[in-house]
Amino acid sequence: MTADARRATDHALVVDTANGPVRGIDDGTVKSWKGIRYAAAPVGELRWRAPEAPARWTEPLDATRVGPVCPQPTDPKLPIDLGAPQGDDCLTLNVWAASDVDAGAGKPVMVCVHGGAYILGSSAQPLYHGRALASSGDVVIVTFNYRLGALGFLDLSSFGDQFATNVGIRDVLFALQWVRDNIAAFGGDPDRVTIFGESAGAGIVTTLLASPAAAGLFHAAIAQSSPATSVYDRTRAQRVAEQFLDVLDVRADEAHRLDAVPITAVTAAAQRVFDDVPSTTPGTLAFAPIIDGDLVPAHPVELAREGRTHRVPLIIGTNKHEASLFRWMKSPLMPITPKAIREMFSAIAAEQPGLQLPSEAQIREAYRGKTKIIGMRVARDIGFRMPSIWFAEGHCDVAPVYLYRFDFTTPMLRLLRLGAAHATELPYVWGNLVAGPKDPTFKLGGLKAGKAVSARIRTRWLNFAVDATPTGPQGDPAWPAYRKDDRATLVIDAQDRVVDDLDADVRTAWGDQVLSFR
């Protein structure tokens, strides 16, 4: 390449955003811009406030490396490669587009909300590298960081006006507004945005589907393993906040000084509260979206069942063996033992005395098998499967819904008794199948079949994003939409198949009453 050609290529990779120009890189197949600041660093008095625009810059900033990830606890039982060091200036995003996609190309956009139980993870994780998805040239990919744990999902609003509610949700909305205002310069169409996420990221997706503040910011949605009912009221959230203050030895009338508490102390306290809450109250999370009457006016699943969600097409589903990951990790996040399940049911009954819970006989009828297997299935369904079905049952009245279950696994994952565990679909969605030499997934084979599964699921997700528009086609992932007369469900496996009313027994056992903690 000549010097003039190189200069021309470099210039083409400089994109002027609303906050200032950024310079990316082109590897010959995909262009990328990483670590773009979409909001000011949430430090000092901004730590628990709504995000604010960053200071404008004039010279092109280097956008060839990901930015810092949100400060978070590190769990030796779950050694996640976060992809970058932790740091306060974490509100950044990354953009990928095929090399031949130029400004004004008007390509559909897919915006990912990463998972991690609302306390872990980052957009810099190698798993979320967007090259494979963007290389087709069909879409522009965006990933971003948002505040996690106590920084993003601790409700301190009862201690003073300087604390905003649902700070992590506000970050997500701010990132989506950045996409709306800037993505055309990267070749994307701001009127064809699909938001997609897994686990906590999917919980944010289903929450935003019921949030008035999200209207018009996305035009299709994909929720993979959404804990859609893990949204709590302010009374419960205040109890968690008081517990957090106790751990830090901070009185309620001293909450104003939380801005100055060292970040290491904040994340350590968050870890302790995160561990304690599900141990004392099985089935609940310490950090999650709360009903604040503003961003989240009511329980998202209940709003869906009332026909009050945004009228955008939705793919929603779960994995066949969701709970096995939590058993393998020895995590208290999901109640698996009979004792923990009974405690969870007792707590639900105490908080919602009018709710008709399934009897033990009904559960045993729906979940035939050994006691341990029943516990795993109950945990899977109350945590992920039934919330997704309840949401689908409501949302399908206002927009097309496509329900799936991911069943594919490999010989090694079967040997480890993980199967199609929580999050195991992610490598197939992203096309990043092998996470380094220590990844055991394909050690006993299955890579050829896995590549075929990945190709199919990526095609379905991409087709859905390409077809979904505000006024035209409603997204077509190439399987029948979910309707209450047949409840068509795609089973994703070595060979995909569509099954009518796949969840009939379980749905009958749980009924149509939404189980949630207030």
H or E element in which residue 389 lies: helix 386-395
- Is 422 labeled as catalytic in the residue annotation? yes
What pLDDT score was predicted for residue 505? 86
What pLDDT score was predicted for residue 10? 56
Domain holding 304, by residue range, is 3-334+381-397
Report if residue 69 sits inside a domain. yes
Model's pTM, two decimal places? 0.93
H or E element in which residue 403 lies: strand 401-406
Name the active-site residue from 226, 395, 422, 454.
422
Name the active-site residue from 199, 211, 230, 388.
199
Report if residue 263 sits inside a domain. yes
H or E element in which residue 161 lies: none
CA–CA separation, 303 and 298 (whole Å): 7
- Is 395 labeled as catalytic in the residue annotation? no
Report if residue 502 sits inside a domain. no
CATH number at residue 194: 3.40.50.1820
CB 399 within 8 A of CB 468: no
What pLDDT score was predicted for residue 2? 46
b/e for 154-189, b at 16 or more Cβ within 10 A? bbbbebeebbbbbbbbbbbbbbbbbbbebbbbbbbb
The two beta strands, 497-500 and 488-492, are: antiparallel
Residue at 159: amino acid letter = F
What pLDDT score was predicted for residue 7? 46
What pLDDT score was predicted for residue 432? 95
Scan for tokens 């306290």, then name that residue.
Answer: 269
Angle, alpha carbons 426-431-437 (nearest 5°): 85
Name the active-site residue from 322, 388, 393, 395.
322
Nearest to 209 by CA among 164, 233, 176: 176
What pLDDT score was predicted for residue 298? 95
- Is 199 labeled as catalytic in the residue annotation? yes
CA–CA separation, 289 and 222 (whole Å): 18
Report if residue 466 sits inside a domain. no
Report if residue 314 sits inside a domain. yes
CB 332 within 8 A of CB 282: yes
Report if residue 468 sits inside a domain. no
CA–CA separation, 473 and 501 (whole Å): 25
- Residue by residue, DSSP assigns 19-47 as TEEEE-EE-SSEEEEEEEE-S----GGGT
Chain centroid to CA 200: 4
Report if residue 48 sits inside a domain. yes
pLDDT in tens, the chain (518 residues): 444 444 445 556 999 999 999 999 999 999 999 999 999 999 999 999 999 999 999 999 999 999 999 999 987 666 789 999 999 999 999 999 999 999 999 999 999 999 999 999 999 999 999 999 999 889 999 999 999 999 999 999 999 989 999 999 999 999 999 999 999 999 999 999 999 999 999 999 999 999 999 999 999 999 999 999 999 999 999 999 999 999 999 999 999 999 999 999 999 999 999 999 988 888 889 999 999 999 999 999 999 999 999 999 999 999 999 989 888 877 777 777 777 777 777 766 666 555 566 677 777 777 776 556 777 788 888 889 999 999 999 999 999 999 999 999 999 999 999 999 999 999 999 999 988 788 889 999 999 999 999 999 999 999 999 987 655 446 678 899 999 999 999 999 999 999 999 999 888 877 765 555 44
Domain count, the chain: 1
Report if residue 411 sits inside a domain. no
What pLDDT score was predicted for residue 382? 86
CB 169 within 8 A of CB 212: no
